Every structure is written in structure tokens, then in C-alpha cells.
Amino acid sequence: MKKSTSEIIEQLIFYAVIFLILREWLIPIMMLTDTGYLSLFLMFIALCLLLGVFKLRVYFSWPIKIVYITWFTMFVYNDGTLTTMQFLSNELNYNLNVLLAGDWILVSDPFRTSLFFLLIWMLIYLIQHWVTVRLTIYYFLVLTVFFIATLDTFTGYDGTMAIIKVMILGLVMTSVLFIKRLMQATNMQKDWRSYFTYAMPIVVLVMVVGIVAVLLPKAEPQWPDPVPYLKGVAGVGDSNSSVATVGYGNNDENLGGPFAGDNTVVFEVKTPIRQYWRVETKDYYTSKGWIQSENTNATEILPVYNDVPLSIAPGSGEEQTVEVRSLENHPFLLQAYGTTNYQLNSPESEIKFNKSSEKMSVFINGEDVMQEAYALTFKEPKHSFTTLKTMTTSYQNDPRYLQLPDKLPQRVIDLAHEITESHDSVYDKARAIEDYFKRSGFAYETQNVAKPDADEDYVDQFLFETKLGYCDNFSTSMAVLLRAVGIQARWVKGFASGERITSSNGIHTYEVKNNDAHSWVEAYIDGIGWVPFEPTIGFSNPVNIDYDMDLQNDEEEVIPNAEDAETPEVEKPEVQKNTATGSGVAFNFSQYKWVLYAIAIVLLIAIFALWKLRGKWQPKLAIQRNRSKLKDASTFEDSYFVLLKQLERIDLKRRQDETLKQYAKRVDDRLETTKMSELTAVYEEVIYAGVSNNFNTNEVKEIWEYLINRTSS
């Protein structure tokens, strides 16, 4: 039945309040996960609520929402090198492989984002049901307050103002919905004058009480903060450790401990592909952190525009340019993988290159200076998957990258051999260690992070005691595990790619913040050179691999589509499911994809058919579910409301200005019967007159079933 203008305005007001409350859900999620595009997520919420106001059919509303989700995914994650269909096909193939192999933690960021949109979609549908059908917002309000209070207690998010806003909006909404329920129960005709007469005093009272509650002085907390107590019980963290601020630092001798986030933007980068920004490497692990073992001051002054002698050789592809604008006082130069040379603004500028750590800075008149803006050219290295899988040694280069402390616990070495014993190639061993952290109960954490005692090893503590940490814990542990099995490895410092803010003509602008300061690992493979690896949970490997191996000849590893390898956003990891015996079993999606597509199409057709034929099966389902409940006069009211709901489904909703007799007569005229009037007469006797002596259960049940069945014809 078509809504009146007043009903649409009323629902718009309700949904505007819901939008404001949902915004308080979204803000801390975006803040704590460092996720951008808040305005686009809010636009999706607004779109879902608007479609709910106008009650569009699902074959109109669902495609609109799906198109929006698809557009968002393409806008954020596709760099323009692939068409829409290629990008979506690659993502579908890869994520189905991952899900069917049981490696859910490896799903891609676009897939996770789509799932988050679906979660928002379902949440809004549930809220709309509560508001429009149940006429209550109580459960949603309680969930919201609990959610914000939990984040306020256990994270760095301050939810004080959010809880105040949610409580004021929620109480106002609860009061208005209560008035609406009363008006419906008493068959009171709604007009805006009476509506505001009842609602405005409640709204004003809630607002005044809320403002007074904020302004009045508060007593000190009566209970201690539960977080330190819970940490003590769990044995996590160190109450005496100081909390550092995240960012790029020069001293890495004592790693560990919590740190506070910092969203200060330190670089603005314009790049054709998403990548990590390398700054320096370190080679000597002290059991507490990293230092540079030798040749610390072995520097070389390079003329501008000369090729830089980095140990990672450029690729053979097209030369590309990156523009960097430095916003903080960092004198070093960012490096892309495959950097060839730099273009600096000042003619007096030279480049100081540390041969040991490969750190570079701008050198003018004998001093390191910050270069506010510069450009670099690079040729992205691309590694042959076939070659990576065949190389089994890491002896060449430099033995200092195999250094380990004399007192490294034996169980660390044993674990390294246990992880890699079923693999032959250096690459496979490194990938096994890289994936170990994702499968063995480790978690990314920045607050409850322990610092090793004087007699403890930093890696040993992380691997066997806490399993909680951030990039330094994961990268250091992987480097040590690699060295323990004879693979040369070094610790790399720099920045993750940052947040993409704009894109134009294939060039993407990223904001790199202090929060993006990062560390990862490079392993040396004979005949190939240094290859980057990313063990930290939630981050993507920056390596670019040419998957040139025939899929049919590789039984242990499922290789993503070749087009995936060209997508610079993330590396598509190997999909491998480990059994108890350590053997690999992979599901070959390519072989069965058309069967799965056919099953998906059949399921969609079946769902659509069930929805189209709901008028046939819904009445029968309603009878089956409620027949046994109609036992006597005391349960008749509930059964009568079930009937009203079925009549509403066929556009026979009772109008607010109709009495029950008028409504029953209209139903009888529509259904060409007199049974509704008979049943309504019994209802009025039982409910209003309180007469139940003549209530004939069997006869009433028969009429009730007859009318519900008529709604299906």
C-alpha cells in the first residue's frame, strides 16, 4: 500500500536519527583500523535508509546497492590496469580458492571490504525491522552503548561524547516510537498537532537532562580501571613499560613495548603503483633488537642523476616516476623497489649513500638536509615463479646476514627447522615461515606488547610466550627463523604504502603517516638476489611475481590467475591447506569454476522463485507455525494478529481511520466472503467485552485457516 506524505516524512525523521547513531558506530571502526573513505561508507548507509523509506522492490533496491559496492571496490582498489570484469573475475577466482582451501585469513582487502558492506546492509535491514514493524529501538540502543563503551575501555578511542549523543538520540527515538505504539493501540487518528503535543515535552526533557548531565560536576570513578587488572590476570604487557609514539626512529637496539598511534602525515607520494617505501636495512641481531654490524660510516657521495648502487637490481620493464613531498623533518630519501636514480631540486644537492645499510640522504655543503620535494625513477623488479621454486641455496652474497646471538634459545632453531622441513627451495621455506604467523595463533597488537627482560630473547619471547606484537616482532622473528635454517636475511625499515586519497590518469596520490612506519624482511636467494617478505598479520607482501609455471604441473600450490600478478595492490598468496601430516591439498578452482558458477546461478534462480512464489508458501508456513498456538480464547489475540499480517502482505492493511468492523467488511469484499466479519465479531467479544464462554476453538481455528489460505489465491 502506498505511503502517505506524512508517513514518509515521519520515517525520514526516524531514519535520520538512525543515520546519526550508525555514524557513531562507524567513526571508531574507521579510526581504530586506520580505514579511510568514511564519507563513502556513510553515503552507503544513507542510500540503504532512503531505499527503505520508499520501500522499493528488491529487484530494484538490491541491484542499486550491489552497483554501489562494486563501484566503491573498483574506485579504491583497482589502479586502472584491469577492466572492471577482469578485476572482479580475478578477485572472485582468488578468494574462492582461499575460502575453499580454508585459508580465510588470506582473503583480499576488496573481498573484506565487500563483506563489511554486506554487514552494514544486514544491520540496516534489522534496524528497519525494529523501527517500522516492532516500533522499538531499545535493542539497537543497548548494543550501540555497549559497543562504544567496550571500545572506550579497551582501546585508545574516547567514546565520551559519542555515548552522550547516542543516549540523547536513542531516548528521543524511544519516546517517539512509544507514542506511535500508543496511538496505534488506541486507534487514535494521527495528526501532526497532537503528535507534536505529545512528543515535544519528551524531546525537550531529554535534551535538557542530557545537557545538564554533561555540565554538572562528576564524582571520581568508584571502580579502578579494569584494563590493568585484566592484563595482570592474563600475564600480558608490562605495567612499567613506557608507551612510545609510532613513527620512524633511528635506534632499534631495544625493540618491544606498546606504542601510541600518530596520524600525522609525513609524506605525500604520487606513484603509478602501490608499493612499500624502503629506507634502510640492518643486519646484526642482538637478542633485543638490531644494529648495523660494520662499515656503519662507509658512505659514498653520489652525483645527482647517477644510478644509485642499491643491492636490489631494477627490473627490465618500463621506467616509471614517483613524486615525493616531505612534510616532516626526515632527511632520508624514500626508495621504491627497483629505484634507478633521483631528481632533486637544488643544483648543489648530492646523495650520501651508506653502503652497509643502503640508507640515502640529501647532502648539501657537508650536511644532511631534508629535501621537501623530489622525484625518483624505478623499474619494478619482477621475479619468475618457476625460478623461485627451483633455487635451493642461499650461500652467496655476505655471511653477516646469517649472524645469530650465541645464546639464542635452541627451541627457536628447532621451530625454524620444523616449519621448513617439508620444503626444498629457499622461496618455499621463506613462504612457510611467512605463513606460519598467520596460522599459529599470533595476533597484531600495539598496546599489550611485552618487552623482554634482561635474560630473555626478544624473538623467543614473542614466538613462545606472548604471540602478541606489531611489525617489529613479526619481521625480526622471521629474519631470525630464516637465518636459523641457513637462509641469509636482513631486517628492512621504511613505510607501508599509506592511504590512497586521489587518482588521476593512472597516478595515485598516497598520504603516508607516522602510523605507516613499518618493518619487513628481505631474504637472499642465490641466482635471484634479495626478495622481500611480509610476515606481519594484516599487511601484504610487496614482491611482484611472474606466475609463469603451468598450473597443471604444480600439484601442491594453486597459482593465482596471471592477471592477478600484474595487479600492484597485493600479492596473491599461495593457497595451501595444511593437513595434520603436513601435506598440501589445494582446490583447483579453475577446473571446477563453471560447475560452481552453475550451482550459484541455480541457487539464485531458486531464491528468486521462492521470493516470487512467497504468496503461495508463506500462508501455509504461517498456519503450520501458529496452528498449535491457537488453543483457547487466551491465545486468540496473537493468532488474529498473524492473520492481519498476512492480509497486510496482499495490500489489505488496516487504515488508521478504520474501525475493526469497517476493516473486516473491506477484507470480505476483497476476498468475496463473510468470514472476516465473523472472526472479527468473535475477536471483539473476547478482547473488548471479555466474553469467552461461547468461544469455539475448532470453529475459530477453521475460519482463521480459511482466511489465511485465501491470501494465497
In terms of domains, do 562 and 688 share one?
Answer: no
pLDDT at 1: 47
Q: pLDDT confidence of 297, banded at 50, 70, 90?
A: low
Highest mean pLDDT: which range of 482-486, 512-516, 544-548, 676-680:
482-486
pLDDT tens-digit series, residues 522-576: 999 999 999 999 999 988 877 888 777 654 444 444 444 433 333 344 343 343 3
Given CA atoms 225, 230, 232, 238 in this order, what sign does their dihedral have? negative
pLDDT at 76: 85
| Distance in angstroms (rounded) separating the CA atoms of residues 545 and 531 | 10
Q: What is the mean pLDDT of residues 618-622?
A: 77
pLDDT at 577: 36
pLDDT greater than 70 at residue 591: no
Q: What is the mean pLDDT of residues 358-370?
A: 83
Residues in the chain, total: 713
pLDDT at 635: 77
Q: Provide the β-strand partners of residue 260.
A: 245
Domain end position, chosen among 592, 624, 647 = 592
Listed residue (312, 318, 356, 361) closest to 338, CA to CA: 312
pLDDT at 221: 63
Listed residue (553, 574, 556) closest to 565, CA to CA: 574
Given CA atoms 526, 528, 532, 534 in this order, what sign does their dihedral have? negative
Question: Nearest 5 degrees, angle CA 704-CA 706-CA 711?
Answer: 100
**Phi/psi at 403 (5° precision):** -60, 140
Query: Does the residue 217 lie in any domain?
Result: no
In terms of domains, do 677 and 537 share one?
Answer: no
In terms of domains, do 633 and 669 share one?
Answer: yes
The 3-state DSSP class for residue 286 equals coil
Q: pLDDT confidence of 295, banded at 50, 70, 90?
A: low
In terms of domains, do 575 and 650 share one?
Answer: no
Query: Does the residue 691 lie in any domain?
Result: yes
Query: Does the residue 415 lie in any domain?
Result: yes
**Phi/psi at 575 (5° precision):** -105, 110
In terms of domains, do 549 and 683 share one?
Answer: no
| Distance in angstroms (rounded) separating the CA atoms of residues 38 and 29 | 10
In terms of domains, do 394 and 543 share one?
Answer: yes
pLDDT tens-digit series, residues 190-200: 666 777 777 78
Q: Provide the β-strand partners of residue 343.
A: 375
In terms of domains, do 486 and 559 share one?
Answer: yes
Q: pLDDT confidence of 241, banded at 50, 70, 90?
A: very low
Query: Does the residue 303 lie in any domain?
Result: no
Counting the structural domains of the chain, the total is 2
Query: Does the residue 633 lie in any domain?
Result: yes
Query: Does the residue 436 lie in any domain?
Result: yes
pLDDT tens-digit series, residues 636-646: 788 888 888 88
| Distance in angstroms (rounded) separating the CA atoms of residues 418 and 182 | 69
Domain end position, chosen among 535, 561, 592 = 592
Concatenated DSSP letters of 186-247: TTPPP-HHHHHHHHHHHHHHHHHHHHHHHHS--PPPSS--HHHHHHHHHT-S-TTS--EEPS
In terms of domains, do 420 and 529 share one?
Answer: yes
Q: What is the mean pLDDT of the chain?
A: 81
In terms of domains, do 538 and 673 share one?
Answer: no
In terms of domains, do 676 and 573 share one?
Answer: no
Q: pLDDT confidence of 597, banded at 50, 70, 90?
A: low
| Residue ranges making up the domain that contains 559 | 385-493+518-592
pLDDT tens-digit series, residues 131-184: 887 788 888 888 888 888 888 877 767 888 888 888 888 888 888 888 877 777
| Distance in angstroms (rounded) separating the CA atoms of residues 360 and 370 | 11
Contact of 556 with 80, CB cutoff 8 Å: no
Helix (H) or strand (E) holding 291, with range, is: strand 290-291
In angstroms, the first-to-last Cα distance of the chain is: 18
pLDDT more than 70, % of the chain:
86
pLDDT at 557: 45
Highest mean pLDDT: which range of 280-289, 328-337, 612-621, 669-678:
280-289
Q: pLDDT confidence of 627, banded at 50, 70, 90?
A: confident
| Distance in angstroms (rounded) separating the CA atoms of residues 161 and 211 | 11
399: how many CB neighbours lie within 10 A of its CB?
Answer: 9
In terms of domains, do 464 and 578 share one?
Answer: yes
Residue 242, all three cell numbers = 613506557
| Distance in angstroms (rounded) separating the CA atoms of residues 107 and 113 | 10
The 3-state DSSP class for residue 37 equals coil
Q: What is the mean pLDDT of residues 471-475?
A: 94
Query: Does the residue 484 lie in any domain?
Result: yes
pLDDT at 549: 61
pLDDT at 105: 73
Q: Identify the burial level of 218 via C-beta atoms within 10 angstroms of its C-beta, where 0-12 means exposed, 13-18 middle and 19 or more buried.
A: exposed
Residue 149, all three cell numbers = 563503551
Q: pLDDT confidence of 63, banded at 50, 70, 90?
A: very high
In terms of domains, do 623 and 584 share one?
Answer: no
**Chain-centre distance of CA 657, in angstroms?**
48
Q: What is the mean pLDDT of residues 14-25?
A: 90
Q: Residues with Cβ < 8 Å from 593, sequence gap 6 or more?
A: 93, 96
Query: Does the residue 56 lie in any domain?
Result: no
Helix (H) or strand (E) holding 513, with range, is: strand 507-513
**CATH number for the domain including 406?**
3.10.620
Residue 75 CA: distances (Å) to CA of 29, 68, 72, 501, 508 = 21, 10, 5, 11, 11
Q: pLDDT confidence of 188, banded at 50, 70, 90?
A: low
